[in-house]
Amino acid sequence: MVAILCDPSLGRYRGDVDDVLALLYLIRRGVRISGIAAVEGNADARHAYQVAESVARASGEDIPVYPSPKAVRGEETAVDFLRSAISEGEDVIAMSPLTYLAEALRKVNGPFYSRIFIMGGSIRQRALAAFPEFNFWKDALAARRVLEAPWREVHVIPLDFTATVKWDCGRLVRSLREISMDLNDPLIKLVAGGIVPWCRTSTTFFGGLVPHDVLAVIYYDRADLFKVSERRLTVEVKGLFKKGRLTESEGARPLRLVNGLSAGSENLLDLFLAAIRGGKSVPTRAEGRPLV
């Protein structure tokens, strides 16, 4: 089982859609999702919750959605869900600012058996990484606390890597529309229509879609496609241009940092589309491949 922390957006010119594409990939691959913690980040709290609810409903799966504490009162929130998931030893995939995950960690008693997979952080200054990565920058102290927690394994998919991958938005939208018609799948149809506004924005400013969060979930599913190194890193918590950056620290616990693609796995858009069309039939690490 895996718990998801994300800040999904759909149908807007502002608000990256990679969270929704990541959820689509996981659902089509048949990954067992225990719940979605939908919080504010690139999207406001209410919009994120509504989008996650729409995705869960269209999937036809029993996937509960838990809102940010800012969105509701008196109900089980993202913090409660994440605390429970970690206590149960579930994997966690984090694709948003880490404020509520850090809050949940403070409420966990006993040893950790969970693994954490985080899309976040950056080390070098280049291209899209000229500024600190948003998820870590938004709450750098929370990011540091999450990395320092006693997880069984820590995996980080940083901006330094994700910024090197760019997908053709036109091909992505056309392919998803074609697949949705062929399969008559309401979730694929929802996503294919909802990503269009952001794809236009992304093409204008970045020359294509940078699939940050999608890369994180493909790594979770198919780690054999990626190059990984072990590093001892912490998170800078001060400085306008340093806050949120990953820096070397001898005292930090080792983590696994994704830094490239394995030979022959460069075209991940093809793999993504094959997974959306073929679902569980595409090979996965769960069928015999080691995680690293």
* pLDDT confidence of residue 125: 54
Domain 2-165+212-260: CATH architecture, name and number where available: Alpha-Beta Complex (3.90)
* pLDDT confidence of residue 13: 60
* pLDDT confidence of residue 2: 97
* pLDDT confidence of residue 14: 65
Task: Dump pLDDT digits (tens) for 181-208.
Answer: 999 999 999 999 999 888 888 888 888 8
What DSSP designation does 107 have?
T
Tell me which residue of 122, 36, 41 sits closest to 76, measured CA to CA: 36
Which residues in the chain come in under a pLDDT of 70?
Answer: 12-15, 73-74, 125-131, 263-266, 280-292
> Regarding beta strands 226-235 and 246-248, do their DSSP bridges make them parallel or antiparallel, or are they unpaired?
antiparallel
Bridge partners (DSSP) of residue 35 are: 3
Task: At 261, give phi and psi (nearest 5°).
Answer: -110, 145
* pLDDT confidence of residue 290: 33
Tell me which residue of 224, 257, 244, 236 sits closest to 155, measured CA to CA: 257
Q: Rounding to the nearest 10 degrees, give the CA dihedral for residues 129, 151, 227, 15.
A: -40
| Rounded-to-integer distance, Cα 280 and Cα 100, Å | 31
* pLDDT confidence of residue 127: 45
Domain boundaries, the chain: 2-165+212-260
Tell me which residue of 168, 283, 164, 160 sits closest to 229, measured CA to CA: 160
* pLDDT confidence of residue 288: 36
